[in-house]
Structure 1
Amino acid sequence: MEEIQPPVVPPVYAEIDALRRDIADLFVVEDTTLDYPDKEHVRFRGRFRCDPAECYDELRRRFERHGYTPVVNREDEARSALIAMPVVFDHPGSRWIINLVLFLATIFSTLVVGAAYELGSYDLAWRQPWHGWPFAFSILLILGAHELGHYFAARYHGVPVTLPYFLPMPFSLFGTLGAFIRLQGPVNNRRALFDVGAAGPLAGLVFALPLLFYGLATSDLGPIFPGQSFEGNSLLYLLIKFAVFDRVLPGGGQDVYLNQVAWAGWVGLFVTGLNLIPVGQLDGGHVAYALFGPRSRGFFWPAIFGLVLITLFSYVRGLLVITWLLWIFLLLVFGRIHARPLEDVSTLDPRRRVLAVFTLALFFLVFVPFPLAGLAR
């Protein structure tokens, strides 16, 4: 009598079946589709037995045991789609020596710019850069707080992240092109995305505002001469100047002549305003997506249209337009791509929702539409 052999189950099917059993207490699988939406991916459709935001970390650990990372999307009002991606994100190390070299170079470049601002000469500034220490210290404190806010929020949520990269630029008004960190893996959910996105600008403002108040209080008022350039106003900057000087500035033919600390505080507000534009990979884009989800893509064209209007108005008034032309180009290229979380079903809790609205409102308070008023083309 011929022996009947049991059917051979391909290893991938056995692994998927084991994965389905492993998550049964967290997710009720109603149907399974292999090679969807891409080859070697698996889609489970069904219902969560728990709050996705609360149990996603455990769900991800179980998926990773089988060599997958879970992506959660809303299928309809009753069901969710759980996509198993055949990849596990590791935590690569950061080459800290590069970060250190860039940071030291940025210290020097901001010293030179601060010294030139103080001495009125780049020739003297290169020979006596220590005169720029108030600006260098202040601007690096603001930028460092901003980037470390992102860094520690990412580490708190278990997102692999690099140390901050500072970008030196001695031949500029700021001495630096800013700083950035690079996320080396996706965030888990919208709550983590909000925390990582908002932590930077909020931490930066914690230091920028006191430095700005102190800098303005120790700066002098002076006359505005024809053709002279001066820093532009945001609503918050206008209010802070009013609080310090008890008058609207510029006004009556006068404005404040910023010292190094005040200039660094103004730069901190300006950079925060740029980062809070609610599109793409900017901090404001992260906050907007965390709050509104895919609907946040609706901010893209209004933001572009607004910058075009500012550029046209600046051109008519003979003001500097290169800044906004560059930002329009960058947003057109990169502004439609959002950092989408792995679990995209749960929403922000009430506390984060209020803080997200506040963070987006800050954009309208700190954004400077005309950064260098009075500077001709």
Structure 2
Amino acid sequence: MSTPPLPPPPFGPGDEPDPFSDARQVRWSAQDQAWTTGPLTPPVEAPVRIGSRGWVHLLLLVLTFVTMTWAGSSFFLNYVSAVGTRRVVVTAPVALLGGLWFSVPALLILGSHELGHYFACRYYRIPASLPYFVPAPMFSIVGTLGAVIRMALPRTRRALFDVGIAGPLAGFLVLLPLAIYGVSHSYVVRLPRQFALQGGLNLGDPLLLTLLQKFYFGALPDRALFVMHPTGFAAWFGLLATALNLFPAGQLDGGHIVHAIVGRASRYVTLVSVLILLGLAVFVSYSWAVWTVLLVLMTYAFGLDHPPVGEEHLPIGNVRLALAVVAVAMFALSFTPVPISPMDFVGGR
């Protein structure tokens, strides 16, 4: 017994509705013998369980707060002593309290970034965990390796784009006023003749911090040292994390955004990005080596191809393309070719 063909749906090629944006879907009603629209009915799938007990997230947050406050105390001591050019006496409790000027804003930046992803997942009903903060008391000058969330893969290109950009956008909106506060509360000290600074680390300035420094202090004179407020270091760390996450590779935020725009061609963008990071690590600054190794390992584990998503044929729309330009601008403001380098400053004669 043959079944008569269905009449064509009430839309033409390229005019298909976006069920995930208006929570509606078009379907054939056998009873009414017509195409109808109704509430979106998600497909029946095996439940995806992502996350862990709440105490794990809380414990990691507390540990990260402690390690970042400890790291921040060093930034505070450098701030009050003008990187050793002033003789000051600071007790341990005061130094730890001063570390809060770094740890609290840095955690706000990290947390807002990950919660941006989390709430975007909630909006699209994508299973996702709360943020996992990663303490690093021995291996990081900032006391942490960042934060991550676990989530299922978005079903559509539009959802993939929104989830990918939500984190960097939320983090940058929180970061911007903190960067302004940190730079505006920094100061410049003139180093005496024959004074030398050796053995420390110099943190390269992203474009945003460079512009703010020029705005507040202008061109620095000879034998001048810019002393950053601890909150400025929190903004520096947030900008570094933003640049790394927006790198257009693999399953980083930038990789999600690129795949949502160009589809399967994103594999070539990932390959070029890995080669660029390798070049930065070999020819520009060894400080890129750790991130290069992590990206290479991730590419080796998951491959160059981004996991496919549904509705690859649907365009993401002009609004999202405009947001992609915003993402490029955020990356440009956050990127620094040499994040960390040895300090070797010798005062003039």
TM-score tier after normalising by the smaller chain length: 0.7 to 0.9
- Deviation of 1:52 after TM superposition, in Å, equals 5.1
Classify the secondary structure of the residue corresponding to 1:88.
coil
Identify the residue that residue 275 of structure 2 maps to in structure 1: 305
Distance 2:222 2:231 in 1: 25
1:372 counterpart residue number: 340
Q: 1:62 to 1:176 in 2, by over 3 A?
A: same
Taking structure 2 as the reference length, the TM-score comes to 0.77
CA distance in 2, matches of 1:189, 1:273: 25
Amino acid at match of 2:269: F
One of 136, 149, 156 as aligned partner of 1:181 = 149
Identify the residue that residue 243 of structure 1 maps to in structure 2: 215
The partner residue of 1:290 within 247, 260, 273 is: 260
Larger radius of gyration: 1
Per mean C-alpha deviation after superposition, the further-off stretch among 328-337 and 357-366 is 328-337
Q: Which runs of 4+ in 1 moved over 6 A?
A: 24-28, 47-50
Equivalent residue, structure 2, for 1:202: 169
Q: Is the 8 A contact 2:73 2:96 kept in 1?
A: yes
**1:229 is paired with a residue of what secondary structure?**
strand
1:19-98 pair list within 5 angstroms: 51=16, 53-54=18-19, 58=25, 64=43, 67=44, 87-90=45-48, 94-98=52-56
> What do the CA deviations read for 1:114-156 (whole angstroms, capped 9, x no partner)?
1233246xxx769963331111111011001101111111101
2:249 and 2:255 in contact (8 A); partners too: yes
Greater RCO, CA 8 A, separation 6+: 2
- Rounded Cα–Cα distance in structure 1 between residues aligned with 2:97 and 2:227: 21
Identity %: 34
Residues 276 and 54 from structure 1, CA distance in 2 versus in 1: closer, same or farther, beyond 3 angstroms? same
SS of residue matched to 2:63: helix
Which of 51, 61, 64 is equivalent to 1:106? Answer: 64
Contact 1:219-1:256 within 8 A present in 2 as well: yes
Compared CA separation, residues 292 and 280, structure 1 to 2 (3 A) = same
Paired amino acid for 1:244: Y
Q: CA deviation at 1:174?
A: 1.1
Q: Does 1:346 align with 2:314?
A: yes
Tell me the SS of whatever aligns to 2:237: helix
Q: Is the Cα contact below 8 Å between 2:77 and 2:95 reproduced in 1?
A: no
From 268, 273, 290, the counterpart of 2:243: 273
Deviation for aligned residue 1:108 = 1.1
Unaligned runs of 5+ in 1: 1-6, 8-19, 29-46, 68-86
CA drift of 1:48 comes to 7.6
Q: Secondary structure at the match of 1:178?
A: strand
Q: How many residues in Structure 1 have an aligned counterpart in Structure 2?
A: 311
Counterpart in the other structure of 2:324: 356
Check 1:325–1:281 CA distance in 2 against 1; reply closer, same or farther (3 A cut): closer
